Chains A and B, each alone.
Chain A
Amino acid sequence: MNLDLTWRLLKGGGRRGLLGTWLTLGAVAVSTALLLFAVAANFAFDARADRGAWRNPVPAGDGAAVAIEASRFDYVRDQAITVVDLAALKDGVPAPPGLPRFPKPGEVWLSPALAELTRELPADQFADRYPNRAGVLGDAGLVHPDELVAVVGHEPDAPAMVAARSDDWIVGKEPTKVASLAGTPGEDAEAYKALALVASVLMVVPLLVFGGAAARLTVARRDQRLATLRLVGATPGQVVAMTVAEAVLVALAGALAGAVVFALAVPLLARIEIQGGPWFVADLFPSLTDLGAVVVAVPLLVGLSAVIGLQRVVVSPLGVAKRETPPAMRFVRVLVLLAVLAVFPMLTKGTSVAIVAVALALAFLCLNLAGPWVVGLIGRITAAGARGPARLLAGRRLVDDPRSAWRTVSGVALTGFVAGFLGLLSPDAFTTQSGSPQLSVTAPPGQVERVADQARERLAAAEVTATVESRERVVVAALGSSADAATVDRARTALAGLVPGRTPTTEADEQRFGIQILDDIRVGTVVVLSVSFLVAIASAGITAASSILDRRQTYGLLRLAGTPLEVLDRARRSETLIPLAVMGGGAILVGVFCAMPFMMGSISTVGVITLAGCVVAGFAGVIGAGAMSRPLLRSVTADPAPRPD
């Protein structure tokens, strides 16, 4: 019976009631799509880590070894190539991922993107480094579709399989005897997974807040009616059941729509380049179980939020029906936030990522808890200092319903927190290379002069003008200021294999991984901020429209009494912008405060620009979203005389 009545009330809500329902549905759809993205990103990094694990060898126990595996990086133009050297210790060693069989000594297998480069670039610049190409590496062995990988087969006693590699684990793996090529995810893959987890927390919390706000929209629109139902004798259980049923029904439709939107957006999302390349589309699709879990969890959370929003109606129906002065919120909300913030100075760069993620999530949630209290305070100050009607109306409304005002600005405020947090974590640590290019390679002990002589001969044969000299164990070939990228690659190709297991590198090559990680952090920052902004602006637009629907009687009567629409617009703008300025600024400062223990060097220019861009885009977005509801305000106040009597 409750469900039947709920459905009748939902259908009978009229055009404006239905508009409210659509707003809720849209909000849940946006939330679900972005939530799926946040969830899928974690699984996608997991998938990448798993596919790249075979290149990170796990040493075998005594007697169990079946092969030797080593790796290093080579470079072409401004891209890094992962070179995996393999040697079988016995017959019938299982094939590495992506290969049909274990590579024979002398054979080279290239990833599709690398094979393409061998065709695009002249042989003396690149292809000559990888002769005897046996085939193309399959997707199962690649981290991403554009990855440059070469798998080279060797005899077990070949120089490349016994020579020492770089001292830096990031740029090479020592020859290691392995029992299988399963490997284990590398340190860099684990770091990316951790960063993805932090990014997810930063994205998911505002999404949950937004989803909750969407649920309360349903309740806000229904509270008068539900209070009336209570007055005529509906039990609290019936009222709760009806509201939850309505919220869950709408949210389920929204969640399904969000899943469809996400599925359609995956091909575009897959183009976002992280770790040097885009994504396999399949990586970004969560499994059916995960998809089902999100689609079921979202309506349940919305239902729960609706129950919380209903507390006032259920406990005191007259309180809502008569619009008494709402009870003041407790200062304890701010105290809880301060308590959580007090934890951050105790964290360090060495603190476990899980603890940082939990602390961040708590700070985020507490900011959301303290927000309405601060908005109420801002309202009291605004109303007290108001000289004109617009400010007075704005201030009084903020005091009357600080939670609703917070819902409008919370998205941007929480985005400010994200921007403040990430703004400090992307320093300009690396400077661009200056001077003429030079290639350096470390020679084995006692062989520096021999390696230098060979380098001179090889470069002369390749007709590359260079000055070769040795500096302690390092042989350096200075290519002259006129050397372009093609010359550098000709020199690299000429010097390939000069020192087994080592690659001649430029200064830029050595900084490439640091630059790559910072680039990825910047991309990640932009992605997180984009998601947060989408949520913030959608939130601002939906709550602005919903607020007009909820207050249409008030607006209609104000207009009837001769209030110019401009005054109403100004009041609505002030109602949003005053708390936005205070809360957005405050949230940025809180974000900066939380990021301080993890700062890497000085504050970055890019970070400050990102932060400033965030503030400008946030204000512009909220003002724009609010302005979009102006026609709705004109529509609901166009006919202030409700009856043709």
Chain B
Amino acid sequence: MNDVLVGRALAKRFGQTVALGGVDIAVRAGEAVAIMGPSGSGKSTLLHCLAGIMKPDAGEVHLLGQRIDAMGERKRSALRRTRFGFVFQFGQLLPELPAEENVALPLMLGGVPRTQAVRQAREWFAPLGLQGMEGRRPGELSGGQAQRVAIARALVTKPAVVFADEPTGALDQQTGHGTMRLLVEATRHNGASLIVVTHDPNVAGWCDRTVEVRDGLLLTTGVHA
């Protein structure tokens, strides 16, 4: 009933390779869903289709009842900027900007004045254990710190859904554990849904439910009973 994001019969091919073979999935408000599967199974393609990064060849994607896969690039960009947040394995922070400006950037892109955007961004540093890191550049942060800055950036616009692609893939086990805990807690605290792509069962263990992808198909049901 309160599904935030719904994908219906999603299909995508890359040349002869079938990345998605007709996938149905639904995510509820505040729910954390892990998408698991081996390399090349189609899990990242599913995430990209749900996030409006990639258009599926067939099927539909709805966000809060609004169909988004049929939108033009400009509208999908605006949607990604305002309703979605992203956390990736590495490289998502702009190396030229200090941490606080990296976090403030999505707000500024949405038209928030710089001083206000930076002030709002700074509020995220203490809860995520990043006090004193505001002025550091990404190259001067550890991998775990950089991921926490990325989490702050993903949540600063108060998105409906946060997408995370192998968010702990570049971290050691202990740091990865801490990062996942922060990601799930912060997302839940903000009322956002979380979709995590991973091949690590420990990461999936932090989520409310896990769907498994193999050869472009879901092995377990993606929708609620």
* A interface list, Cβ under 8 A from B: 322-325, 386-389, 392-393, 396-397, 399-400, 553-554, 557-564, 567, 640-641, 643-645
In whole angstroms, what is the CA distance A604 to B34 when docked?
Answer: 74
Tell me if B211 counts as interface (CB < 8 A to partner A).
no
Could you tell me if A562 and B109 are in contact, using CB atoms closer than 8 angstroms? Answer: yes
Q: Which of B132-160 contact A (CB under 8 A)?
A: 137-140
CB distance from A381 to the nearest CB of B (A): 15
Q: Are B139 and A323 in contact (CB under 8 A)?
A: yes
Complex partner residue of B101 from A396, A643, A645, CB under 8 angstroms:
A396
**Cα of A388 to Cα of B39 in the assembled complex, Å:** 40
Closest 6 CB pairs of A and B: A562-B81, A562-B80, A323-B139, A400-B96, A396-B96, A645-B44
Cβ contact within 8 Å between A563 and B81? yes
| CA of A553 to CA of B81, assembled, Å | 18
B101 A392 Cβ-Cβ under 8 A:
yes
Q: In the complex, how many residues of chain B place their beta carbon closer than 8 angstroms to a beta carbon of chain A?
A: 40
B19 touches A554 (CB 8 A): no
Question: Closest approach, in angstroms, between the C-beta of A538 and any C-beta of chain B?
Answer: 26
B79 contacts across to A, CB distance below 8 A: 562
Establish whether residues A386 and B114, one from each chain, have CB atoms under 8 Å apart when the complex forms: yes
Are A562 and B139 interface neighbours, CB within 8 A? Answer: no
Binding site for A on B (CB under 8 A): 14, 17, 19, 39-45, 48, 53-54, 74, 77-82, 84, 86, 88, 91-92, 94-97, 101, 105-106, 108-109, 113-114, 137-140
Option from B54, B84, B137 in Cβ contact (under 8 Å) with A324: B137
Distance between B122 CB and nearest chain A CB, rounded to angstroms: 16
Q: Which one, A387, A393, A557, A562, contacts B91 given CB within 8 A? A: A557
The closest CB in chain B to the CB of A379 belongs to B96
Question: Closest approach, in angstroms, between the C-beta of B127 and any C-beta of chain A?
Answer: 21
Q: Verify A388–B96 contact, CB threshold 8 A.
A: no
28 contacts between A and B (CB under 8 A): A323-B95, A323-B139, A324-B139, A325-B137, A386-B114, A388-B114, A393-B97, A396-B97, A399-B96, A400-B96, A554-B95, A557-B92, A559-B77, A560-B53, A561-B80, A561-B81, A562-B81, A562-B109, A563-B77, A641-B45, A641-B48, A641-B53, A643-B44, A644-B14, A644-B19, A644-B45, A645-B40, A645-B44
Chain A: minimal CB distance from B101 (Å): 7
**In the complex, what residue of chain B is closest to A399 when comparing beta carbons?**
B96
In the complex, are the beta carbons of B109 and A567 less than 8 A apart? yes
Q: Pick the contact of A641: B39, B54, B78, B81 (CB < 8 A).
A: B54
B137 touches A323 (CB 8 A): yes
Other-chain residue from B41, B94, B106 in contact with A562 (beta carbon distance below 8 A):
B106
Residues of the B chain whose Cβ atoms lie less than 8 Å from the Cβ of A397? 96
Which chain B positions have C-beta within 8 A of A322? 139-140
Cα A387 to Cα B94 in complex, Å, equals 18
Among B43, B96, B113, B137, contact of A393 (Cβ-Cβ < 8 Å): B96
Bound complex: CA A322 to CA B43 (Å): 29
Q: Is B86 in contact with A561, judged by CB distance below 8 angstroms?
A: yes
B74 touches A323 (CB 8 A): no
Distance, CA A195 to CA B39, complexed state (A): 68
Which among B105, B114, B137 is the interface contact of A387 at CB below 8 angstroms?
Answer: B114
Could you tell me the distance between the alpha carbons of A393 and B95 in the complex, rounded to whole angstroms?
A: 11
- Beyond A557-B88, A562-B79, list 16 extra A-B contacts (CB 8 Å): A322-B140, A323-B138, A324-B140, A325-B137, A389-B105, A389-B109, A392-B97, A400-B96, A561-B81, A562-B77, A563-B77, A564-B74, A644-B45, A645-B40, A645-B42, A645-B43
Within the assembled complex, what's the spacing in Å between the Cα atoms of A557 and B138?
Answer: 15
Most buried by B among A397, A558, A559, A643: A643
Judging by beta carbons under 8 Å apart, are A562 and B44 in contact? no
Residue in A387, A557, A644 whose Cβ sees the most chain B Cβ within 10 Å? A644
Q: Shortest distance in angstroms between B211's beta carbon and chain A's nearest beta carbon?
A: 16
The answer to whether A641 touches B106 (Cβ under 8 A) is no
State whether A400 touches B95 (Cβ < 8 A). yes
Q: Which residues of B contact A393 (CB under 8 A)?
A: 94, 96-97
A563 CB contact (under 8 Å) in B48, B109, B113, B139 = B109
> Which B residues are in CB contact (< 8 Å) with A553?
91
Residues of A within 8 A of B19 (CB): 644
Q: Is the CB of A558 within 8 A of B94?
A: yes
Contact A392 B44 (CB under 8 A): no
Specify which chain A residues have a CB less than 8 angstroms from the CB of B94 in the assembled complex: 393, 396, 554, 557-558
Which residue from chain B places its CB closest to the CB of A385 in the assembled complex?
Answer: B114
CB of A640 to closest CB in B, whole Å:
6
Nearest to B136 among chain A residues (CB) is: A325
CB distance from B159 to the nearest CB of A (A): 10
Give the contacting residue for A325; candidates B39, B41, B45, B140; CB below 8 A: B140
Which has the most chain B C-beta neighbours within 10 Å: A323, A387, A553, A641? A641
Task: Give B12's nearest chain A residue, CB to CB.
Answer: A644
Residues of A within 8 A of B137 (CB): 323-325
Q: Decide if A564 touches B77 in the complex (CB within 8 Å).
A: yes
Of chain A, the residue at the smallest CB distance from B38 is A645
CB distance from B202 to the nearest CB of A (A): 20
Residues of B within 8 A of A557 (CB): 88, 91-92, 94
Chain A contacts for B82, CB-based, 8 A:
562
Complex: A388 Cα to B107 Cα, angstroms: 10
When chains A and B are docked, how far (Å) is the Cα of A306 from the Cα of B19?
43
Residues from chain B with a CB closer than 8 A to the CB of A562 are 77-82, 84, 106, 109
Q: Chain A contacts of B41 at CB under 8 A?
A: 645
Q: Which residues of A contact B44 (CB under 8 A)?
A: 641, 643-645
Residues of A within 8 A of B95 (CB): 323, 400, 554
Considering only CB atoms, which chain B residue lies closest to A325 in the complex?
B137
Q: Kindly list chain A residues whose C-beta atoms are within 8 Å of the C-beta of B43.
A: 645
Chain B minimum-CB-distance residue to A386: B114
Contact residues in A for B77 (Cβ distance below 8 Å):
559, 562-564
CB of B148, distance to nearest CB on chain A (Å): 17
What is the chain A residue whose CB lies nearest that of B42?
Answer: A645
Q: Which residues of A contact B74 (CB under 8 A)?
A: 564
| A-side contacts of B108, CB under 8 Å | 388-389, 392
Q: Are A392 and B45 in contact (CB under 8 A)?
A: no
Chain B residues near A644 (CB-CB < 8 A): 14, 17, 19, 40, 44-45
- Are B109 and A560 in contact, with the CB atoms below 8 A? no
Which chain A residues lie closer than 8 Å to B92 at the CB level? 557, 561
Bound-state Cα–Cα, A562 to B86, Å: 10
Query: How far is the CB of A445 from the nearest CB of chain B, in Å?
Result: 82
From B77, which residue of chain A is reached at the shortest CB distance? A562
Note all chain A residues with C-beta closer than 8 A to B106.
561-562
Give B167 Cβ to nearest chain A Cβ, in Å.
14
CA distance A111 to B18 in the complex (A): 80
- Minimal beta-carbon separation of A227 from chain B (angstroms): 12
A321 nearest in chain B by CB position: B139
- Min CB distance B112 to A, Å, is 10
A564 to B54: give the CA distance in the assembly, Å. 16
